[in-house]
Structure 1
């Protein structure tokens, strides 16, 4: 069929389930935006800057399976690259489309604006090559093939991809294949049979099988399959902090968070004592491993998205989802053990007590309900919420590996667009908030309704506990945060509240629970207070980062 290059690209995005294209207009991408206007099922959402667009796309893709951003060449795409690198680190599929200069200008090396004026048009793609699994510059001769190749790589690898669309070819017609994008990539049959037989043999010999959940369980669609395997066989499971809430934390078979030596005894025995551990390709960093104190058993089965390792035998071309489905079908059901689900301690408000980190997070955990989307900013919020047992079917969004502060506010734009019928709760500190605050205006402009908890602790609490507890470099300006909503929107479609005591927090939570608009709750906290885990993490990080003669020793 004959179709323009721009329309083919946009049609393929809709076939991936993408409903919103996020980004910033620029002269090299305006021709594609004209085509977006006529593309049913796809809407452009302009963000305040390209970095925020990348963060928003990351949040959108975590709930929808894929996202797309649109930038302009050079200045726009380099602004987004930090967020794209974060999506790569966190295994999030994002399609990065950049409106590029005319094809003839690039081929002839003509010096133009938004470039280094040196005629080099390979530099931007070389930058993105480091953080994407496929890249292309579209031309009339390659577009029909290259669009499909790159998008399939995005879905299969669960990583960002990069597409340059020269400004003068978007309206040119090409012959494209009939039918939709072919995303089928089944396992190699003989490899799958061999891997399944091997795994069944190892599992049948085990007396203490267990599961270890990391983020790839969600990225590659394994969560429901692993839940079924656990329930059928009564195999317990633990989660890395980077895999929080992917499986139910309230279920009797959940053993807790596995963090190496920092794990509870129950979680440690479950994982380290297993004689057949199925792990969803965990990637251990200092934060989720208890400073690399993890000890996985010899018989650990590593599930990649499209490969598996069993007893040091590597099976390439095996989809983990197919393997787990076959394993579960081939096993007999175990008698359900009547284990009590974990129970929360009782809670009673201390009316006039000032807010403290030790009591804030257990109370917040009770406010989080089934089906909520929780976005926890790196630092205090994530460290405070991670140990809390959250309700069933909660989606927990954070950037544990990349750790770029400010990520969660624009990510909330993405998650609310992806799942407008769910309740979205953002927890972010004042320092992080100041980095990406502009996107609150987009959330208000679109009439989205998250609940935003702003932790006002006068600066970078996590950094204070690493180094510089009272130093000015960890301070930030104390904005009138609750007043910002009136600056960003004149529609009055929000509710702003503040809380300094537990009684004020209860009142704010009650109003937020009943609200049908964006709720902004500013929590006033002691700058030198922190969750218990952060008080341990900070000094340990200082020792790891600076060594035995570091400044943390001199200042002690």
Structure 2
């Protein structure tokens, strides 16, 4: 078998998993890897403005492409990227983090090297990153083939980041590669366990009159979204979404009953009250999403399906693979007859919006401009809170970071997502405070010829924080920028659309005349305390949770 260098083998294996772009920042310990990437056809490097942005871009690429790769240099690069990698772990996003590290003789002899603490310890960075990845390895000629394949399979199957260190003087050494190509194969599962569970699911569905599917974000991460949609469409099973499971299933279908929980949704609440079988897929238990909501679900009627296990009546069955299980269930014929609630999903004509911009009317106006197949990103804060309950057209995809919640995430994630799916129309909704965190990446977005529609909510600071604490406090203010001049500075030779909007009439004119042959940046001027109603309720609840009854919010 023909030998291959370690670096080339790494790039080849990533390319076999359909990774076409690697995000990162050059550094002296990874330059040899950048030289080797040109040896592999179909994969290229995308340099970002910093390592944090690279990690966010890789995360956005992985959510759209399925898996991504991130390249850093030892120490300063690794730790700069770590916040973004931690977000990928929290939200189950498969990212392969590759670090070019000092030469092996320096590690072995504990030499004092730059980008380190200068004390000869080469395990401290490795130990730090280890806390936020599922597995890690330092590659050597004796382990490279096995460890690369193990880590990449683990990343894909477990849907979480992994970490590989490659000493700079080893990547050109040759190894014997595996003869089998690396594929996106499902994880192993117990066949008898699947047969048992399928029998239970068929039994519950055939006896039910009022079944319901509740979907959360990990249903998509666990690769079962398409099977769930097929199951609901075939048997006319109504479904609803946790806010953190937005747009995973078709929100334009009459089977979709809305978001759960929602006290104002009588159709959904009445149906849940009589539901005799509830399948909750991969619920994400945090205080801001479904943890509280699921406490109100009837225990005997609710089954929890996750990527690798399923719980019936508080008994958990391990050793499954959820997408395979659902595929096998779809091969069966289920005799059932359900009483389906009537749900009117027609989009009412947009009432005339007038006057100064306000969020009470803003999101209803915006949603009438979304089209089937759009990819919409909602930054943490006002945008994500509002968009979580705005129904989308068919085949829209929603990208946000509700669990880790790092502000500034969506702008570099937009870069990654657009590189993965350049033919999709991308919308980004982001606040001014978040945009200032990662604004440099606008240069890459514009100069690469990408054409997103960026809608920035300029309310002079951190509105979500104002509703938690410090409504008029200076610490929630941010400097004001000239965003049109910023775009010119970041992309001096690129033609783009910039519009500053203060009224609903102006917004209508801008949206009616969007030129999609150029990138668009729409700056919405809003009052500092203008916010979606959900955020106005959310803020005080967070303050009570964080600070308790004697907290400063009760002064």
TM-score by length of 2: 0.96
Quote how far apart the aligned CAs of 1:548 are: 0.9
Quick check: 1:498–1:508 contact (8 Å CA) kept in 2? no
C-alpha distance in 2 between matches for 1:63 and 1:273: 37
C-alpha distance in 1 between matches for 2:245 and 2:283: 9
User: What is the 5 A alignment of 1:392-403?
Assistant: 392-403=394-405
C-alpha distance in 2 between matches for 1:217 and 1:515: 32
User: What is the 5 A alignment of 1:8-23?
Assistant: 8-23=9-24
5+ long unaligned stretches in structure 2: none
Quote how far apart the aligned CAs of 1:336 are: 9.7
C-alpha distance in 2 between matches for 1:452 and 1:439: 13
Quote how far apart the aligned CAs of 1:307 are: 2.3
Q: CA 1:164 to 1:392, structure 2 compared with 1: closer, same or farther past 3 Å?
A: same
Q: CA 1:266 to 1:125, structure 2 compared with 1: closer, same or farther past 3 Å?
A: farther
Quote how far apart the aligned CAs of 1:523 are: 0.5
Deviations 1:190-228 (A, max 9, x none): 121122122222333333221110111111221111111
Deviations 1:513-550 (A, max 9, x none): x3301100100011111111111111111111111111
Q: Which residue of 2 aligns with 1:129?
A: 130
Quote how far apart the aligned CAs of 1:350 are: 3.5
Quick check: 1:110–1:119 contact (8 Å CA) kept in 2? yes
Q: Which residue of 1 aligns with 2:222?
A: 220
Deviations 1:19-77 (A, max 9, x none): 11000000000000001122210110000000000111111111110011000001001
C-alpha distance in 1 between matches for 2:183 and 2:529: 54
User: What is the 5 A alignment of 1:122-271?
Assistant: 122-184=123-185, 185-259=187-261, 262=263, 264-271=265-272
C-alpha distance in 1 between matches for 2:279 and 2:325: 12
Quote how far apart the aligned CAs of 1:453 are: 0.5
C-alpha distance in 1 between matches for 2:196 and 2:271: 27
C-alpha distance in 2 between matches for 1:349 and 1:491: 38
Quote how far apart the aligned CAs of 1:428 are: 0.4
Q: Which moved more, 1:288-297 or 1:379-388?
A: 288-297
Quote how far apart the aligned CAs of 1:274 are: 2.7
Deviations 1:308-344 (A, max 9, x none): 2223333222111122222233213658969454123
TM-score by length of 1: 0.96
Which of 490, 500, 506 pairs up with 1:504?
A: 506
Which of 323, 326, 329 pairs up with 2:325?
A: 323
Q: Which residue of 1 aligns with 2:389?
A: 387
What secondary structure, in the 3-state scheme, does the structure 1 residue paired with 2:287 have? Answer: coil
What secondary structure, in the 3-state scheme, does the structure 1 residue paired with 2:296 have? Answer: coil
Q: Which residue of 2 aligns with 1:428?
A: 430
Q: Which residue of 2 aligns with 1:283?
A: 284
What secondary structure, in the 3-state scheme, does the structure 2 residue paired with 1:163 have? Answer: strand
Q: Which residue of 2 aligns with 1:488?
A: 490
Quick check: 2:216–2:281 contact (8 Å CA) kept in 1? yes
Q: CA 1:267 to 1:122, structure 2 compared with 1: closer, same or farther past 3 Å?
A: farther
Quick check: 1:57–1:68 contact (8 Å CA) kept in 2? yes
Q: Which moved more, 1:109-118 or 1:159-168?
A: 109-118
Quote how far apart the aligned CAs of 1:232 are: 1.8
Quote how far apart the aligned CAs of 1:163 are: 0.4
Deviations 1:88-121 (A, max 9, x none): 1111000000011111211221121111112111
Q: Which residue of 1 aligns with 2:347?
A: 344
Q: Which residue of 1 aligns with 2:101?
A: 100
Superposed CA RMSD: 1.8
Quick check: 2:213–2:238 contact (8 Å CA) kept in 1? yes
Q: CA 1:272 to 1:98, structure 2 compared with 1: closer, same or farther past 3 Å?
A: farther
Q: Which moved more, 1:53-62 or 1:490-499?
A: 490-499
Deviations 1:245-272 (A, max 9, x none): 000111111111113x757333334446
Aligned pair count reads: 551
Which of 395, 412, 424 pairs up with 2:414?
A: 412
Quick check: 2:237–2:338 contact (8 Å CA) kept in 1? no
What secondary structure, in the 3-state scheme, does the structure 1 residue paired with 2:233 have? Answer: helix
C-alpha distance in 2 between matches for 1:283 and 1:334: 30
What secondary structure, in the 3-state scheme, does the structure 2 residue paired with 1:302 have? Answer: strand
Quote how far apart the aligned CAs of 1:478 are: 1.1
Q: Which moved more, 1:430-439 or 1:194-203?
A: 194-203
5+ long unaligned stretches in structure 1: none
Deviations 1:361-403 (A, max 9, x none): 1111111111001000001011121221111111101111111
